[in-house]
Chains A and B, each alone.
Chain A
Amino acid sequence: MVDNIKRSLLVALWFVFLTFPLMVVKVNTLKSIVEWRWMNMLWVAIGAFALSLVWRWAMARRQLKSKKAEQGEDESVKAGFATRLMEDPKLYKPALIVIALATIVFPLVVDIYQTNIMVLALIFVVLGLGLNVTVGLAGLLDLGYVAFFAVGAYTYGVLNSFYGLGFWTCLPIGGLMGALFGIALGFPILRLRGDYLAIVTLGFGSIAKIVIENWEEVFNGAKGIAGIPRPGFFGAEMNITSATTYTYYLMILMVVFAIFITNRLKDSRIGRAWMALREDEIACVAMGVDMAKTKLGAYAFGAFWAGLAGVIFAARNTYINPNSFTFMESALVLSIVVMGGMGSIIGVIIAALVLILMPEYLRAFSEYRMLMFGAVMVLMMIFRPEGLIANVRRKYTGRKVTTEDANA
């Protein structure tokens, strides 16, 4: 215990040193004033001391857990509450009904502001489900996912402002454009592996933003496109409130649709091919999986959802500009997938709701939102790499062969 405290004191001292110039000193070079913020030093010291104690405790626990797993004790000893909820029909059926009722009633009981935020959260659920296919199932790290989102949003924006096409025409076009771009971008980088892929996709993401920003004639540059109509309903006139509610239900339908499709796909031939590709590319190709087709399929499919989400995003905001499509959004969607537990659909939904709704309701903390994000991403990777809700792989369990069977 004393040893622990001593070490934590050292850590606190180290962090005081580390954060000294940035946290304590603040210079104003124009007015030649140095501001010394000694209180910050105290906070850093206390914080670092406490956190280092927690950190050491958590690390010790983590080691214990991995040791147990090595000895084969951890497996199936305790299925978490979440897994039980999903597997036991007695539990998940009522839960599903409650959730369904809650989603239907939601826009009727809360005001338009809340509904509007919920629509945004649902858009990110769809984005998360889409990226979940590319990253979670196929294991292709995509750091420029937001580009496809932008493709969808600008498809609607441009087609509407130039040709006056409506929401329902643009929705499928947006999705298809997304998929098309997914294939177009996926093609040159088929041969690249993990890390090279990451940087090239990141590059594509920033190229998309630069092109949108600078191509004034088509995309109206940094000014963005305004006056995009909300989704229509057989030409019915709607005020903002009912239009938002309508968008909400539309989004719910889309989420259900996305869940259904991705869930079915996961257990299909191509879904299994994706997972095999993720586990070992060479072995997978040797087993006769068409690498090019499978990879392009994953890109196209992920990008398709981003395109759809983009169209709805443009319709929800009625205004789009390039600043909505930065690397931050890609990182946000990626952290949704990672935090949700790669490949796990329920996890992705929960993570998207938490990550989008939390900062909206905790306005006071909104400054610290990205800071928290970063910290959470690191901590998740270290202490819970399987995500909030781990993806349960389908298992085929055979009967164990006992010695008696063997002898018989």
Chain B
Amino acid sequence: MEYFLELSSSGLVRGSIYALIALGYTMVYGIIQLINFAHGEIYMIGAFVALIVSGVLTIYGFSGVSILILAALIAAIYAAAYGYTLEKIAYRPLRNAPRLSPLISAIGMSLFLQNYVLLAQTPDFLRFPALIPDFEFMEPIAHIMGSAELVILVTSAISMVGLTVLIKYTRIGKAMRATQQDMVMARLVGVNVDNVISVTFIIGSVLAAIGGVLVGSYIGQINFYIGFMAGVKAFTAAVLGGIGNVPGAVLGALVLGLTEAYAAGYISSAYEDVFAFGVLVLILILRPSGLLGKAVKQKV
């Protein structure tokens, strides 16, 4: 039973990280029907910036929680800047191109950013400092859920609630929903669609950077390649939940995280990815538009 709880908690932690990244995919997809393949790279860049900032701050004598907060903040700012620039260079000129073009441009961007970090920093794994402190009150259940895991769960929950509020109750959220429903119509009633798309990329990037910082300090090491697998998994989660659907992405991510954790714990950790993709294929066969996605009728 304890083992089961342990696996569940690690599955939830994984799931909530996937969810943070998956939200960026699903929001972008909802608005411009593009798989932002380079989104995983934004997450990786967020983690790298946080690592560099925390390294520099540690050397210059800062300590404790102030490092965590500063590192996360700067990482989020940089991720937002990268997300914004990415959209402007690689996707905006292709707004009216055939479907395959922006996707290939995204794969190109992903390769570019990976190798940019590889060349600018290092191909090796870097040790990420443990930024999250150990809480005393977590001591009794530390073997099931540690402090870092608690922080990850709480932070992701807060981010997701924040996102929901933003989409539901703010002006820009309304504009985002309008653009998602009908871009041309939104433009006609005075929504600045280009700005909305930029904001969507920025929000997604900030969430990914938060995920990057959390994962970095939880797992303890990063390299230039972490974005690829995380991106693929998060995208899988978004598809699983029905791409374009915000609650769906969270649900899909949790399902995926738990599946992986149980598969790794009870069967074999070498095959956890096989199970992750297996679940995806299975669900897509049964429900081609994902768990919460609506089937779109296409007119000719």
Contact = CB atoms under 8 A, between A and B. Distances in A.
Contact of B55 (A29, A196, A378): A29
A198 B100 CA distance: 10
A203 interface: yes
Interface stretch (B160-168, B175-183, B267-275): B267-275
Contact of A27 (B52, B108, B277, B288): B52
Interface string A131-143: 0000100010100
Given A17-B81, A188-B281, A27 B105 contact: no
A102 interface: no
A327 B227 CA distance: 13
Interface residues of A, number: 65
Contacts of B195: none
Contacts of B249: none
Nearest to B299: A282
A120 interface: no
A280 to B, nearest CB: 7
A191 B82 CA distance: 35
B126 A29 contact: yes
A376 to B, nearest CB: 7
A202 interface: yes
A200 B105 contact: no
A198 B35 contact: yes
A210 B239 contact: no
B295 to A, nearest CB: 11
A368 interface: yes
A377 B108 contact: yes
B140 interface: no
Contact of B273 (A21, A27, A29, A207): A207
Interface in A327-375: 327, 331, 334-335, 338, 342, 367-368, 370-371, 373-375
Interface string B253-294: 000000000000000101101101110110011001000000
A46 B202 CA distance: 27
Contacts of A23: 120
A29 B127 contact: yes
B189 interface: no
Contact of A21 (B33, B52, B104, B122): B52
A381 interface: yes
Interface string A5-31: 000000000100111011101111110
Given A371-B112, A374-B112, A192 B103 contact: no
Contacts of A28: 55
A206 B277 contact: yes
Contacts of B268: 214
Contact of A22 (B35, B48, B90, B236): B48
Contacts of A40: 120
A199 interface: yes
Interface centre among A62, A191, A195 (most CB of B within 10 A): A195
Interface of A: 14, 17-19, 21-23, 25-30, 32-34, 40, 59, 62, 135, 139, 141, 188-189, 191-192, 194-196, 198-200, 202-204, 206-207, 210-211, 213-214, 280, 282-283, 286, 327, 331, 334-335, 338, 342, 367-368, 370-371, 373-378, 380-382, 385
